[in-house]
Chain A
Amino acid sequence: MNLLTVLLLFTAMVLSRVSNLRTAVKILLFQSIMVTVACLQAGWNTGEAHMYIAAVLTVLIKAGLIPFALFRVVKILRREREANPILGPTNSFVASAMLIVMAYWLIDRQLPGVLSRDALAASVSLVLIGLLLIMTRRQAVMQIIGLITMENGLYLLGLSVTMGLPLVIELGIFLDVLVAVVVLVILTYRLKLSFMTTDTSVLKKLKG
């Protein structure tokens, strides 16, 4: 579990540095696979059969459909890259590190001596780093990636706290994420068509 936690945090840290969209999607794919492995491990540890179903779904949706859709849209956005982020690579790297520190501090403070300390801290960090990504990146695709990172963090939180949520709730979450990403991908495509760019700062023009 510890190795998985470290790898997940590592993907998040790397995500805060990349500016190439294609690379970012690849890292996201790797992150989702890590989450799947975590899910499988939780299933192995607890012996709950439905964890395996959840793992299969994770692979299908987070490592399959979503990256597929993102790769497709990235192919259309050949020229786009995160050229001018609000927080530069180094700054956002430092900010992510600080968020991880904060997450650990938070967990230690609120739940001292909890068993899955690292997993909890990692999941909180993932959520916060995801939010940071959405906040500091201008490219629509990078913001989608931030959203999925947040979602992965939440999923990990569910895994580490309760050893798996009921299947119905997990199904609902998967459907939500899927729909959200599909809608976002479509919107990104429309953005490209309407504004010739997927830089979301053009959306400022919408304000009257």
Chain B
Amino acid sequence: MVAVDWYYLMFVFFFAGGLSVFFGGRHSGKINYVAHGLAALGCLATILCAIFVFRQGALEFPLPLSLPFGVMTARVDLLAAFFLLLIGVGGLAASVYAMGYSKEYYGNRYGLMTGLFNVFLLSMVMVITVSHVAAFVIAWEVMSIVSFLLVNFEYEKPANTRAAFVYIVMTHVGTIFIISAFLLLTVAAGSMDFIRFDGSALSATTRNIVFLCAFVGFGTKAGMIPLHIWLPQAHPVAPSHISALMSGVMIKTAIYGMCRFFLDFLGAGPVWWGGLILAIAILSCVLGVLYALMENDLKRLLAYSSVENIGIMLLGIGSGMIFMSKGEPLMAGLSWSAVLYHAFNHAVFKSLLFMGAGAVLQSTHTKDIERLGGLIKKMPYTAVFFLVGAATIAALPPLNGFISEWLTFQALFLLPQAVSGVAAKLAGMVLIALLGLTGALAAACFVKAFGIAFLAKPRSLRAENAQEVSYIMLAPMAGLAVLCVLLGVWPQGMITLISSVLADFSGLHAGELLSANWYSIAFTGANAGGLSIPLTIGILLIGVLIAVGLSHLYGSPRTIKGETWTCGIVPTSHMQYTATGFSGPIRRVFHSVLRPQRETIVDEIDTNHYFGRRLSYQVAITYVFNDMVYRPINRTILLTARFMKTIQAGSLQLYIGYIMAVTVLVLIWNAGW
């Protein structure tokens, strides 16, 4: 079979799965396995299609769909194939996981959920593979609307509807910009086919406008700050397998769009393009991870961490574009490799983490970390997989998050050499420091997420009664965890793949990333550097060995089982470190950014005279951009609407009066006053 066959097969599977919307709430048990099975098969076909494209070269064929905009072509070049692979892997895991997870939703509207799940996957594949403006925009809209419906699936809860509404508004604002960017290119090229688009034919101003439109449009979908407000609201309220898909896979379609525009259509541009991207990127990184660290809702914490990771990818994109405009193909290749590698890694570990959070949610029915605790004893497998995901996202070697963040760091280290001017060089160095800070805060964030949720004593009855989830949910998590390790200890495969993807584009060169040395990443040029995986693992092992050796040397290990000694009283879960307490020091350090508002309620009535009083402590942080950007916009729109309302008075006579006035005016105007 060839790639085209797999492509059509994928289409058939997803389409058949999508038909399950017609079942409504009937036959939930069968629909679950059939629809999600079809989705899994479709994802497998997607993966195979991508693999065949990688082996046999780019694919191009007319789609048997006729639109009134000319012939529609599907074009799966290597870049598209790479993102197909990403969708396939994330989608496959989510589909299998859904078979177990979605059992909670049996009954009313269940068929709708499974069907939309398939359509969602199909729309993402279409976004990546079509090579025609109209088709792209349609697929993009379908993707947005289907994900909106999935976010709003439990519409009985008012919070969900609100989140979904914010999502649909923001995503459409982004779509406006994307369409503008496409139309400017279309007008210049005289064709709606992607292959005719050529940024160098545009005037400098038009190119800048296209760049800004594409960046804002796709940036909204990616969830970069300050256009991120929908992401932390929408991702947590969707069912967890959908969250995994949205956070892990859907926001990568935006990264794909940026790659397509910046690498394919526009090519190397002025330096300020890269500079702008870098500024937004570092903002997303630092603020994203800070908000994540402050969050006590497990899924919202993961959503904010997605903002941070998008920031890391944007750092790669920004530095890549600066290198391209400075004529440094090798460094540009390094940066873009970091972007693609991190995109893939993020899809893997963020899906894994959302699935872990979903497992916790299913067995405890709460997302609030303050009410969890001690889950490692009740749910050992979930805990291990979540731990792998948490270590990966904190960029610990030898896991895959480390590799891509290391690549990003290398790109940033080279950045000050490429740019000219003291201020620019300094800014480049500040970026490195801030990315370092981001990494440290991310580590703290996931220590909090894992430590408070899985360790110590259960903080509520629900956490105490938690049970391990079914194997069908554990299996995809295990697969993704293995992938995390595999992509970390053996980055060669992925690096080779990315080099072949990037070979298609001019202005960069990623061929030398892989050195001849065994298991290492190295690049030639003036500043040769490298990362040797065996060496890294060796150092790690030596460290562990030393630690173990020292502990054996200075005292014989003995195991004594018993309660922790707490001055004679029985330890309770109230004595434990809380999630809010854990993030307290950081809240204090970043006081000026987060502007926490604390409220302490003291109950003076002595319920227990040994302790004297009861404390209720609440803390809320201020989201700078909500206050600075979105509130004023909201207020302006409301004021304008109120003004417009006076025109719309509801009086029939007044409306006719408008018509009459316009008629008379037009007549007089026409007669030439």
A residues apposed to B, CB below 8 Å: 86, 102, 105-106, 109-110, 124, 128, 131-132, 134-138, 143, 200-201, 203-204, 206-207
Which A residues touch B672, using CB under 8 A? Answer: 109
The interface-forming segment of B529-537, B580-588, B618-626, B652-660 is: B652-660
Q: Chain B residue with minimal CB distance to A206? A: B650
**Contact with A131, one of B649, B659, B670, B671 (Cβ below 8 angstroms):** B659
**A106–B668 CA distance with the chains assembled, in angstroms:** 7
B-side contacts of A124, CB under 8 Å: 667
Question: When each residue 635-669 of chain B gets 1 if its CB lies under 8 Å from chain A and 0 otherwise, what string results?
Answer: 00000000000001111110011011001100110
Chain A residues with CB under 8 Å of B651's CB are 201, 204
Determine the residue in chain A with the shortest Cβ distance to B654: A135
Q: Are B660 and A131 in contact (CB under 8 A)?
A: yes
Cβ B671 vs Cβ A135 within 8 A: no
Tell whether, in the assembled complex, residue A135 and residue B650 are in contact, meaning their CB atoms are under 8 Å apart: no
A132 cross-chain contacts in B, Cβ below 8 A: 660
Given A110-B670, A135-B656, A135-B657, does the pair A128, B650 have CB atoms closer than 8 Å?
no
Q: Is the CB of A200 within 8 A of B664?
A: no
Min CB distance, A179 to chain B, in Å?
20
- Indicate if the CB atoms of B657 and A203 lie closer than 8 Å: no
> B664 touching A203 by the CB < 8 A rule?
no
CA distance A137 to B671 in the complex (A): 29
Residues in B lying within 8 Å of A, measured CB to CB:
648-653, 656-657, 659-660, 663-664, 667-668, 670-672
Distance in Å: Cβ of B499 to nearest Cβ of chain A: 61
Contact A109 to B664, CB < 8 A, known contacts A86-B653, A204-B650: no
CB-based nearest B residue for A106: B671
Q: Point out the residues of chain B lying under 8 angstroms from A102, CB to CB.
A: 664, 667-668
Q: How far is the CB of A58 from chain B (nearest CB, A)?
A: 25
Inter-subunit contact A128/B652 (CB<8 Å)? no
| Docked complex Cα distance between A134 and B660 (Å) | 10
- Shortest beta-carbon distance, B671 to chain A, in Å? 4
User: Could you tell me the dominant secondary structure of chain A's interface residues?
Assistant: helix
What are 14 pairs between A and B in contact, CB < 8 Å?
A86-B653, A106-B667, A106-B668, A109-B671, A124-B667, A131-B659, A131-B663, A134-B653, A137-B653, A143-B652, A201-B653, A203-B652, A204-B650, A206-B650
The binding surface of chain B is classed by DSSP as helix
Of listed A86, A102, A131, A200, residue having the most chain B CB within 10 A? A131
| Residue of chain B at shortest CB distance from A136 | B653
Nearest-Cβ distance from residue A84 to partner chain B, whole angstroms:
12
The residues of A that contact B649 with a CB separation of less than 8 Å are: 204, 207
Chain A proximity of B644: nearest CB distance (Å): 13
Residues of B close to A137: CB separation below 8 A? 653
A179–B570 CA distance with the chains assembled, in angstroms = 86
Q: How far is the CB of B98 from chain A (nearest CB, A)?
A: 41
Instruction: Determine the chain A residues whose CB is within 8 A of the CB of B668 once the complex forms.
Output: 102, 106
When the two chains form their complex, are residues B653 and A138 in contact, meaning their CB atoms are under 8 A apart? Answer: yes
- A110 and B660 in contact (CB under 8 A), knowing A200-B652, A207-B650? no
Task: Kindly state the separation between the CA atoms of A141 and B4 in the bound complex, as whole angstroms.
Answer: 68
| A135–B670 touching, CB < 8 Å | no
Q: How many A-B pairs with Cβ below 8 Å?
A: 45
Roughly how many angstroms separate A106 CA and B669 CA in the complex, as a whole number? 10
Name the residue of chain B whose CB is nearest to the CB of A146.
B656
Listed residue (A135, A136, A206) with the most chain B CB atoms within 10 angstroms of its CB: A135
Chain B nearest CB from A100 CB (Å) reads 13
9 tightest Cβ-Cβ pairs between the two chains A and B: A207-B650, A135-B656, A109-B671, A204-B650, A131-B660, A134-B656, A135-B657, A200-B652, A106-B671
In the assembled complex, the Cα of A14 lies from the Cα of B126 at a distance in Å of 67
Give the chain B neighbours of A110 by CB distance below 8 A. 670-671
User: Which chain A residues lie closer than 8 Å to B660 at the CB level?
Assistant: 128, 131-132, 135
Chain B residue with the shortest CB-CB distance to A138? B653
Query: Assuming A200-B652, A201-B651, A203-B652, is B664 touching A128 (CB within 8 A)?
Result: yes
Tell me the complex Cα distance, A141–B176, Å. 47
Q: Given the complex of chains A and B, what is the CA–CA distance between A143 and B656 in angstroms?
A: 10
Q: How far is the CB of B185 from chain A (nearest CB, A)?
A: 43
6 A-B pairs besides A110-B670, A135-B657, A201-B651 with CB distance below 8 A are: A102-B664, A102-B667, A124-B667, A128-B663, A131-B663, A143-B652
A135 partner residues in chain B, CB cutoff 8 A: 653, 656-657, 660
Which residues does chain A contribute within 8 Å of B657, judged by CB atoms?
135
Closest residue of B by beta carbon distance from A204: B650
Chain A residues lying within 8 Å of B650, measured Cβ to Cβ, are: 203-204, 206-207
Expressed in whole angstroms, the minimum distance between the Cβ of B236 and any Cβ of chain A is 33
Chain A neighbourhood of B667, CB < 8 A: 102, 106, 124
Measured in the bound complex, the distance between the Cα atoms of B657 and A134 in whole Å is: 9
How far in angstroms is the closest Cβ of chain A from B285?
Answer: 45
Given the complex, which residues of A lie within 8 Å of B664, measured CB to CB? 102, 128
Give the Cβ gap from B649 to chain A, nearest Cβ, in Å: 8
In angstroms, Cα B652 to Cα A110, docked, is 32
Return the chain A residue nearest B648 by Cβ: A207
The distance in angstroms between the C-alpha atoms of A168 and B75, with both chains bound, is: 52
Whether B653 contacts A200 by the Cβ 8 Å rule is yes
Contacts of A131 in B (CB 8 A): 656, 659-660, 663
Query: In the bound complex, how far is the Cα of B660 from the Cα of A137, in angstroms?
Result: 14
Cβ–Cβ < 8 Å partners of A204 in chain B: 649-651
Measured CA separation A13–B648 after assembly (Å):
30
Residues in A with CB closer than 8 Å to B656 are 131, 134-135
By beta carbon, the residue of chain B nearest A107 is B671
Please, which residue of chain B has its CB at the minimum distance from the CB of A132?
B660
In the docked arrangement, what's the CA distance between A63 and B668, Å? 33
- Complex CA–CA separation, A132 to B653 (angstroms): 10
A106 to B670, CA, bound (A): 9
> For A128, what are the chain B residues with a Cβ–Cβ distance below 8 Å?
660, 663-664
Nearest B residue to A87 by beta-carbon distance? B653
Residue of A nearest to B645 (CB): A207
**Shortest Cβ distance from B655 into A: residue:** A135
User: In the complex, what residues of B have CB within 8 A of residue A207's CB?
Assistant: 648-650
Once the chains are docked, how many angstroms separate the CA of A200 from the CA of B652?
A: 7
Q: Which residues of B contact A138 (CB under 8 A)?
A: 653
Q: How far is the CB of B172 from chain A (nearest CB, A)?
A: 24
**CA of A200 to CA of B651 in the docked complex: distance in angstroms?**
8
In angstroms, Cα B663 to Cα A203, docked, is 24
In whole Å, how far is A122's beta carbon from the nearest beta carbon of chain B? 15
A143 CA / B648 CA spacing, docked (Å): 20
For the complex, give the distance between the alpha carbons of A136 and B655 in Å: 11
B82 CB to nearest A CB, Å: 51
CA distance A41 to B664 in the complex (A): 30
Complex Cα–Cα for A131 and B661 (A): 10
Closest Cβ of chain A to B352, distance in Å, is 48
A201 to B649, alpha carbons, bound, how many Å? 11
Bound-state Cα–Cα, A165 to B652, Å: 32
Which residues in B have their C-beta under 8 angstroms from that of A143? 652
- Rounded to whole angstroms, the CA-CA distance of A131 and B667 in the bound complex is 14
Q: Which of B653, B664, B667 has the most CB of A within 10 A?
A: B653
B270 to A: closest C-beta gap in Å: 51
A143–B655 Cα distance when bound, in Å, is 13
